[in-house]
Amino acid sequence: MGSTSEFGRRDLIKRAVAVGLIAVPSVSVLTACASGDSGDKSDKADKGQKTGKNPLAVNETAALDVVIFDGGFGQQYAKDAEAAYQSAFPKARVKHGATQEIQTQLQPRFNGGTPPDLIDNSGAKQMDMGTLVGKKQLTDLNALLDAPSIDDPAKKVRDTLRPGVVEMGRFDGEETWILYYAYTVYGVWYSRTALEKLDARYPETWDEMLALCEKAKKKGIAGWTYPGKYPYYLPFSLYPFIAKIGGREVLDRIDNLEPNAWKDPAVKAAFEAYYELYKKGYILRGTPGLTHIESQTAWNQGKALFIPNGSWVENESKKTTPADFKLAVGAPSSLDAKTDKLPFGTIWASGGEPFIVPKNAKNPQGGMELLRIMLGKKSSQNFIKQVSSLTSLNGGTEGLTLPPGLASSQEALTKAGRNVVNPRIQDWYVALQKEKIGVAAIGEMMAGRMTPDEAIAKIQKFSDETREDSSVKKYKHK
């Protein structure tokens, strides 16, 4: 992902977004990563002179140290923005680093008090956001948000962002700790061409979904595949499915770690629906052993119709995507259009690719200035063209010809309107979401090694243990 995301999103997105090659480390390791508040802070760069062109008072000669997650979005977009920063501050030396193992690479630097100035904290080995915030390891980004935007000095940066992006960066106060750069649309991704060959359209009800999967099965095509080695991709379509059935408040209770939140009837109904895909043989054989790249490649090859993913998938899988694929994203099908609490079109979309400025950064003003550049129209359009994903800049697509997947994402957002959900468990409790809910429960259920009831009981136990663990900082919807 970029974010993840893919997303983000990556993710998730998370990736915000959730693209990576290794499982997330345990909470204890992540806590150790963020616990260090040592280091000589006297070596921070002095502030520069605040001017109209330099509203964050960047020291024009101070070095800038940037580390980017090298996932679904790559790193060229960041290098291009760094070139613009270098042009604005020619005396500054910009150091660019990239890795898929953010936590592993940066833990020693956090513990030593010498972290980079700007980090794209994404991927499977991202640092735990809640722990970083709880341990006061991040810089409040409100100075950036209140600075004039690159394109229109009359507008603050915060006023140019998509709805919900600023709020996502907050945890339990008015400080903004994270800036999600990508804007990820999560859902059920498919090929319009593949459906056309089956004389079918995207299924708006679950009965239609099952019927289409049966039709495909008879022609030797699986209904679904997913990254079986990283099954935390499944919630990208499963969570909004739960919200559609029972209302967004069900996800809020899950985010809040409330007792019995996972035992809500909407969760049980959604889990049983997905489990039916396994029971009826609609999952591509061998899926539990596939990585995200392997599952996407099989999907591109027409071996399966649907895959849960984030909008970073268009860029990440482009090497194996046929020219006539006609990539598109679908919202969760209606389980029962008469009783579902939210209409068809309800989708998960949120900021992905989380950027942070460490508290002990030597040049935090420079880190924020690079983000200000990235949130300008020029950098945003460069990102869109390079990686087929939206940014958190509201708009910015004017004059661009969007590729199929990104155009479909725009259509999905328009159709959803207000019915956009954003589960916070993925950034409030990273290890719980990925290691436990995703891998140890949902992944086991979809591989047929656990029933829906067993998976729900296990997840509720994990949630309860996290709630009772005093070492884990807790967050709640207000």
Domain residue extents for the chain: 4-184+349-419, 186-348
CB 188 within 8 A of CB 306: yes
CA distance 290 to 305: 16
Nearest 5°: phi and psi at 58?
Answer: -70, 135
Helix, strand, coil shares, percent, the chain, to 5: 40, 15, 45
Q: Which helix (H) or strand (E) holds 355?
A: strand 347-356
Q: Cβ atoms within 10 A of the Cβ of 215, count?
A: 15
Query: Can you give the length of the chain in residues?
Result: 478
Topology (CATH level 3) of domain 186-348: D-Maltodextrin-Binding Protein; domain 2 (3.40.190)
Look up residue 101 and give its amino acid: E
Task: Say what the pLDDT of residue 301 is.
Answer: 98
Of 138, 120, 137, nearest in space to 36 by CA = 137
| β-bridge partners, 119 | 67, 356
Going by the DSSP 8-state scheme, the letter that residue 436 receives in this structure is: I
Task: Say what the pLDDT of residue 30 is.
Answer: 37
CB 102 within 8 A of CB 121: yes
Class of the CATH domain delimited by 4-184+349-419: alpha beta
The two domains 4-184+349-419 and 186-348 share their CATH topology (first three levels equal):
yes
pLDDT tens string for the chain (478 positions)? Answer: 444 333 333 333 333 333 332 333 333 333 334 444 444 445 788 889 999 999 999 999 999 999 999 988 899 999 999 999 999 999 999 999 999 999 999 989 998 999 999 999 998 788 988 889 988 999 999 999 999 999 999 999 999 998 889 999 998 889 999 999 999 999 999 999 999 999 999 999 999 999 999 999 999 999 999 999 999 999 999 999 999 999 999 999 999 999 999 999 999 999 999 999 999 999 999 999 999 999 999 999 999 999 999 998 998 999 999 999 999 999 999 999 899 999 999 999 998 899 999 999 999 999 999 999 999 999 999 999 998 889 999 988 888 999 999 999 999 999 999 999 999 998 889 889 988 999 999 999 999 999 999 999 999 999 999 999 999 989 898 7
Pairing between strand 304-310 and 222-224?
parallel
What Cα–Cα distance (Å) separates residue 190 from each residue in 245, 262, 278, 307, 331?
22, 29, 19, 7, 11
| β-bridge partners, 190 | 306, 328
Of 446, 244, 264, 407, nearest in space to 333 by CA = 244
The tokens describing 251, both together, are 């996800």
What Cα–Cα distance (Å) separates residue 317 from each residue in 292, 294, 313, 314?
10, 10, 6, 6
Burial class (CB in 10 A: 0-12, 13-18, 19+), 436: buried
